Structure 1
Amino acid sequence: MLLNIQIIQLPGNEDIPLPVKMSSGSSGFDLHAAVSESVHIQPGKWKMIPTGIAISMPHGLEAQVRPRSGLAFKHGISVLNSPGTIDADYRGEIGIILLNLGEETFTVERGHRIAQLVFMQVPNVQLQVVEQLDETSRGSGGFGHTGK
């Protein structure tokens, strides 16, 4: 099923590549930095990086912003609220909160591929208040309850 997502480049960002899948089997579209000058992210710090684009997608979808594996492996760069959620009714510029978990300052330049955008279907859910939940073998066992 092909879903149409509308995209605009915000004024002054015509030189920034549109999101693109880097291979036919890719799940995510690479997002590019639309910074006006170099941005330096110190170890342990984060910065909001603009992309210069905005999108419109049908209700029932969300766009998830995820880290790029190459940046994570080579530089310790991640997306702070990973995955970041872009709701179907948001029309503003997509911004990426990059987090430097590495040991060296990371520099973001205009046009660099900084994250990826993955589109996911969101089920139509209605919460139902009940007096009691059904029983399971796990019950209320939480974090680490199964051991190592």
Structure 2
Amino acid sequence: MIRGFEVVSKYQDQAINLPKRATKQAAGYDFESSVDMVLPSIWRFPFLKALSTIKSTKELSAQEINDANATLKPYLIPTGIKAFMQPNEVLIIANRSSNPLKRGLVVPNGIGVIDADYYNNDANEGEIFIQMVNLGITDMKIKKGDRIGQGIFMPYLTTDNDNDDLKQTRSGGFGSSGK
């Protein structure tokens, strides 16, 4: 098999749908949430208090900064899906175009990058998570099966002097490369 999707083993009996394209010309494969969850709005007291303090030109305490940052942190939405591909390919995870406009949901890092060696890693079997921040005024309920992002397989290029002999072998899951 060259490229595709599989359900992560811990979700085998939970009716997880493999990503699919919605139309014949769609580039992206739609990913669904594998769980019901609530994505909290960023507009909560610690963040609003920090904004008010900044507006009044007072200095924020370390605790106020920590509290505001905790409110702004992205959440990981599990998909229950892993992807396999060729060594010279990458799966780009992008937001659905309707998410910011209709739901106030954004992917804070712009895109996600799923490398070929993320598949079946020891830490989480290569499960794909989609980072999200809720910019809406109220908390957003995400239901199992809601389409939350899309994945696009793409080839990538390396430089002429890229030396694979000096590269590490992946040893973890989400966010583990470069450690």
TM-score of the superposition, structure 1-length normalised? 0.76
> Which letter maps to 1:78?
V
Instruction: Give me the whole-angstrom Cα distance separating, in 1, the residues matched to 2:127 and 2:157.
Output: 25
Instruction: Give me the whole-angstrom Cα distance separating, in 2, the residues matched to 1:74 and 1:21.
Output: 20
**1:114 corresponds to 2:120:** no
Identify which range, 59-68 or 7-16, moves more after superposition.
7-16
The Cα of 1:57 is off from its aligned counterpart by 0.6
Q: For each residue in 1:35-79, what CA deviation from the matched residue of structure 2 results, as whole angstroms up to 9, or x when unmatched?
A: 1xx311122243111111111110111111100111111011111
Instruction: Give me the whole-angstrom Cα distance separating, in 2, the residues matched to 1:10 and 1:89.
Output: 15
> Which letter maps to 1:72?
P
The answer for the alignment partner of 2:26 in structure 1 is 26
Instruction: Give me the whole-angstrom Cα distance separating, in 2, the residues matched to 1:106 and 1:15.
Output: 23
Q: For each residue in 1:88-125, what CA deviation from the matched residue of structure 2 results, as whole angstroms up to 9, or x when unmatched?
A: 11111001111112222111111111000011111122
The Cα of 1:82 is off from its aligned counterpart by 2.0
Q: 2:92 aligns with which of 41, 60, 64?
A: 64
Instruction: Give me the whole-angstrom Cα distance separating, in 2, the residues matched to 1:7 and 1:29.
Output: 10
Superposed CA RMSD in Å reads: 1.8
How much identity, in percent, do the aligned residues show? 30
The answer for the alignment partner of 2:168 in structure 1 is none
The answer for the alignment partner of 1:81 in structure 2 is 109
- Higher share of residues assigned helix: 2
Structure 1 pair 123/43, CA: closer, same or farther in 2 (3 Å)? same
The Cα of 1:127 is off from its aligned counterpart by 5.4
Q: For each residue in 1:23-43, what CA deviation from the matched residue of structure 2 results, as whole angstroms up to 9, or x when unmatched?
A: 1111100001011xx311122
The Cα of 1:7 is off from its aligned counterpart by 2.3
Instruction: Give me the whole-angstrom Cα distance separating, in 2, the residues matched to 1:22 and 1:47.
Output: 26
Task: Provide the secondary structure at the position in 1 that maps to 2:118.
Answer: coil
Task: Provide the secondary structure at the position in 2 that maps to 1:73.
Answer: helix
Instruction: Give me the whole-angstrom Cα distance separating, in 1, the residues matched to 2:161 and 2:41.
Output: 41
**1:93 corresponds to 2:124:** no
| 8 A contact 2:108–2:132 mirrored in 1 | yes
